[in-house]
A and B are shown apart, each in its own frame.
Chain A
Amino acid sequence: MTARSVSAFASGRGLSIRLLTVLLVLAVVLLFCASLLVGPAALGLGESLSALFAGKGGPVVLVMQEIRLPRAILGLLIGAALGLSGAAMQGFLRNPLAEPGLIGVSGSAALGAVLALQTGLAAAFALALPLAALAGAGLSAALILILAGPGGGALALILAGVAISALAGAATSLVLNLSPNPFAAAEIVYWMMGSLADRSFTHVWLAAPLILAGMVALMTLGRGLDALSLGEDAAASMGLRPGRMRLVLILGTAAAVGASVAVAGAIGFVGLVVPHILRPLVGARPSRLLPLSALGGAAVLLAADVAVRLIAPDRDLKLGVLTALIGAPFFLHLIWTMRRAEA
């Protein structure tokens, strides 16, 4: 094969990636609109859209601008954050079973939120819960940096993450266990299921800057993750700094996922399944997988959030429950096909 035919081969596949990107962007846009248009208040299409851009007005404007718009924006941002950080985590650890919560950020953020609910702080002022969750995420990131040591090793990171996750989980159980107030306990359990219902622009303003900053940091890892496909020594000898990459990974994930958990609770399986599905479609290159996983995550979460409203409009089906319900069997199916391919 000549240089030209190698290049033709590469660009040929580039085309399909462009097509995939376009399709995912379209899906995200459509699902974002669907998220705006589906809800218990049966509003007409034209009515909804005009209310969205109206300056001031009645209840329709209120529903669109204060309830549905922030919900859709959070679905978009959190889905993208989960998809992207899942892809980055899998790329860094070179393990398709890695997920954003692996380093303990989600568990610790949840612990912070649970403490806020239990102590009644969350009832005292509105932002206490997300702020406590963010503090939990920040603390866990600091702890994991100390535990995992100065190098760029994957194993130390996994072990430290497992330890912190277990600790945060145990502490959360302890809070529930000793909770004198059954209402607080019920509230905690519901919160931990993950949901985007009844979120306001206050939540958006709190989470969006952190999620976006975290995503920007994670996006810079692409080239390094490609090189890491060949191992830490090979990557280091190609000019990468695995230690610095790990720092960016931890801080980026803590910001993006910590802020997501802070406003929406724990939403599982999106960060695990989305990169897994998209990987074969992008020639397995981690750098290509990052942006597409962000789009894919946004699409999946927006779709799930529309689905909870359609499936059980009056039962408050929790988003995290649905993603796990769909995600787990899907994942089993993937494992099944993988096993057959290996046999």
Chain B
Amino acid sequence: MSMGAISGNPLLQLQDLTVLRGSRRVVDGVSLTIGPGEFVGLIGPNGAGKTSLMRAALGLLPHQGGSNLAQMTPGVRARAAAFLPQGREIAWALSVADLVALGRTPWGRSGAADAAVSNALARMGLTDFAARRATELSGGEQARVLIARALAQDTPLLIADEPGAGLDPEAQIRMMTVFADLAAEGRSVLASVHDLGLAARHCTRLVMLHQGRLVADGPPAQVLEPGLLARVFGIEAHIADGTDGLIFQPLRVIR
């Protein structure tokens, strides 16, 4: 896989990013920098502003403040960052191979035979699905196909909005492993994750949003601390250092 020559420069740089919906600040002055080789989990309860943050960062939503991606032209941005939206739309009965090949759009003419496409299919365990019609797959399988599409875009940064929703445990772990592998290869991933157990185990860094504000940013063990969990999520959790890394199990609601 080819890498964009971005060594040194951050892949994502948000400066005081603010999104207004009416007079409400759904994203409120978030500054965030993501360099190469990071798997950043974006966590926060429903309505914390995760989706708005990601869409504004990409320039898909009107915003104040700065985002390096939003300042690029669409063509340049499409080679710098791939985006997996939350709404899983597949309009037509495309074959899985054709759908994943759409990820090659920013790179000019190339068909389903592109190596990036077969790599993406293989990474998501979809090679045997290549000839199937995407609309005939189950919801979880469709989600994997759409992740493969974003992988095929072959960008230094992947931004994914709840990529794990609707996946079975195997597919969830597989997906998190793929993202962690991307980070190990020097790319970066920013993904909103609701399963804090998976986030604790696989992410290299967590960013916690609460009411549009960034309230914590750091290694999972540091961000997932009882005080923040109670204030932001309203839950109590069992957190332990296992031999396989951090183990996080939500226990009960405390408000």
Q: Is A181 an interface residue (CB 8 A)?
A: no
Residues of B within 8 A of A240 (CB): 74, 105
CA distance A171 to B77 in the complex (A): 47
User: Contacts A236-B74, A239-B106, A285-B94 given: A3-B149 contact, CB under 8 Å?
Assistant: no
Selected from B90, B112, B131, B153, the residue in CB contact (under 8 A) with A229 is B90
Q: Is B83 an interface residue (CB 8 A)?
A: yes
Q: Is B91 an interface residue (CB 8 A)?
A: yes
Q: Is A231 an interface residue (CB 8 A)?
A: yes
Q: Is B209 an interface residue (CB 8 A)?
A: no
Q: Is B102 an interface residue (CB 8 A)?
A: yes
Selected from B91, B105, B115, B146, the residue in CB contact (under 8 A) with A3 is B115
Determine whether the beta carbon of A238 is less than 8 Å from that of B78: yes
Residues of B within 8 A of A11 (CB): 113
> Which of chain A's residues 36-71 have a Cβ closer than 8 Å to chain B?
none
Q: Is B182 an interface residue (CB 8 A)?
A: no
Q: Which residue of A lies closest to B112 (CB)?
A: A10
User: Contacts A1-B128, A6-B130, A283-B95 given: A231-B105 contact, CB under 8 Å?
Assistant: no
Q: Is A199 an interface residue (CB 8 A)?
A: no
Residues of B within 8 A of A231 (CB): 85, 87, 89, 91
Determine whether the beta carbon of A233 is less than 8 Å from that of B55: yes
Determine whether the beta carbon of A229 is less than 8 Å from that of B102: yes
Residues of B within 8 A of A10 (CB): 97-98, 111-113
CA distance A169 to B158 in the complex (A): 48
- On chain B, the number of residues with a Cβ less than 8 Å from chain A's Cβ atoms is 44
CA distance A284 to B133 in the complex (A): 10
Determine whether the beta carbon of B118 is less than 8 Å from that of A233: no
User: A231-255 toward B: CB 8 Å interface, digit per residue (1/0)?
Assistant: 1011011111100000000000000
Min C-beta distance of B54 to chain A, whole Å: 10
Determine whether the beta carbon of B87 is less than 8 Å from that of A238: no
Selected interface stretch from A27-35, A128-136, A210-218, A220-228:
A220-228
Selected from B74, B118, B130, the residue in CB contact (under 8 A) with A239 is B74
The prevalent SS among residues of A at the interface is helix
Residues of A within 8 A of B58 (CB): 236-237
Determine whether the beta carbon of A228 is less than 8 Å from that of B74: no
Min C-beta distance of A58 to chain B, whole Å: 54
Q: Which residue of B lies closest to A4 (CB)?
A: B113
User: A1-36 toward B: CB 8 Å interface, digit per residue (1/0)?
Assistant: 111101101110000000000000000000000000
Determine whether the beta carbon of B106 is less than 8 Å from that of A238: yes
CA distance A280 to B136 in the complex (A): 14
> Which of chain A's residues 274-289 have a Cβ closer than 8 Å to chain B?
279-280, 283-286
CA distance A227 to B75 in the complex (A): 13
Residues of B within 8 A of A236 (CB): 58, 60, 74
Determine whether the beta carbon of A239 is less than 8 Å from that of B77: yes
A1-B127, A9-B112, A231-B85 known, 16 other contacts, Cβ within 8 Å: A1-B128, A3-B115, A3-B118, A6-B97, A10-B97, A94-B91, A227-B105, A228-B91, A229-B91, A230-B102, A231-B87, A233-B60, A234-B89, A237-B78, A237-B81, A285-B94
List residues of chain B with CB under 8 Å of any chain A CB.
Answer: 55, 58, 60, 74-75, 77-79, 81-85, 87, 89-95, 97-99, 102-103, 105-106, 111-115, 117-118, 121, 127-128, 130-131, 133, 146, 149, 153
List residues of chain A with CB under 8 Å of any chain B CB.
Answer: 1-4, 6-7, 9-11, 94, 223, 226-231, 233-234, 236-241, 279-280, 283-286
In the complex, 14 of the A-B residue pairs with CB atoms within 8 angstroms, ordered by the A residue number, are A1-B118, A4-B113, A7-B113, A9-B131, A226-B105, A228-B91, A233-B60, A234-B85, A236-B74, A237-B85, A238-B78, A238-B153, A283-B95, A284-B133
7 closest cross-chain pairs (CB), A and B: A7-B113, A239-B78, A237-B83, A94-B91, A231-B89, A284-B92, A10-B112
